[in-house]
Amino acid sequence: MCFEKTNYFVEGLQGAGKSTLVQKLSDRLNDSQVFREGDYSPVELAWCAYVTQEQYEHILARYPMIEAQIREKTVTEGRYKIICYTQILTDLPNFHKTLETYEIYNGNLEQASFESVILERFEKWNGSGQIFECSIFQNIIENQILYLMMTDEEIFDFYKRLKRVLAGKPYHIIYLDVEDIAGTIDVIRKERSDENGNEMWFPLMMQYLQTSPYGKEHRLTDLDGLLAHLAHRRALERRLLNELFEENSTILKSKNDALAPWIASLGSRHSDNPNGF
Q: Quick one: 205 and 81 in the same domain?
A: no
Task: Identify whether 73 is part of a domain.
Answer: yes
Q: Walk across the sheet containing 7-12 and list its strands.
A: 33-35, 130-133, 7-12, 171-177, 249-253
Q: Quick one: 24 and 161 in the same domain?
A: yes
Which residue from 114, 255, 99 is spatially nearest to 176, judged by alpha carbons? 255
- CA dihedral of 163, 164, 165, 171, whole degrees rounded to 10: 50
Q: Quick one: 67 and 140 in the same domain?
A: no
pTM value > 0.85: yes
Q: Render pLDDT for 23-66 as a digit per residue (tens, 0 to 9).
A: 999 999 988 999 999 899 999 899 999 999 999 999 999 999 99
Q: How sure is the predictor about 258, in pLDDT bands with cuts at 50, 70 and 90?
A: low
3: pLDDT strictly greater than 60? no
Q: How far apart are CA 250 and CA 177, in angstroms?
A: 10
Task: Identify whether 2 is part of a domain.
Answer: no
Which residue from 8, 32, 7, 37 is spatially nearest to 176, judged by alpha carbons? 8
Task: Identify whether 246 is part of a domain.
Answer: yes
pLDDT at site 187: 93
Per the CB < 8 A criterion, the answer to whether 33 and 129 are in contact is yes
272: pLDDT strictly greater than 70? no
Number of domains into which the chain is organized: 2
Altogether, the residues listed in the chain come to a count of 277
Q: Quick one: 129 and 80 in the same domain?
A: no
Q: Quick one: 152 and 263 in the same domain?
A: yes
Per the CB < 8 A criterion, the answer to whether 49 and 103 are in contact is yes
Task: Identify whether 263 is part of a domain.
Answer: yes
Q: Quick one: 125 and 96 in the same domain?
A: no
Which residue from 97, 106, 102 is spatially nearest to 209, judged by alpha carbons? 106
Q: Render pLDDT for 198-243 as a digit per residue (tens, 0 to 9).
A: 999 999 999 999 999 999 999 999 999 999 999 999 999 999 999 9
Question: Residue 28 belongs to what domain range?
Answer: 7-44+111-272
Q: Quick one: 21 and 131 in the same domain?
A: yes
Whole-number average pLDDT of the chain: 92
12: pLDDT strictly greater than 70? yes
Q: How far apart are CA 140 and CA 117, in angstroms?
A: 11
Q: How far apart are CA 100 and CA 256, in angstroms?
A: 35
Q: Quick one: 160 and 81 in the same domain?
A: no
CATH number at residue 260: 3.40.50.300
Q: How sure is the predictor about 257, in pLDDT bands with cuts at 50, 70 and 90?
A: low
Q: Quick one: 95 and 196 in the same domain?
A: no
Q: Quick one: 158 and 92 in the same domain?
A: no
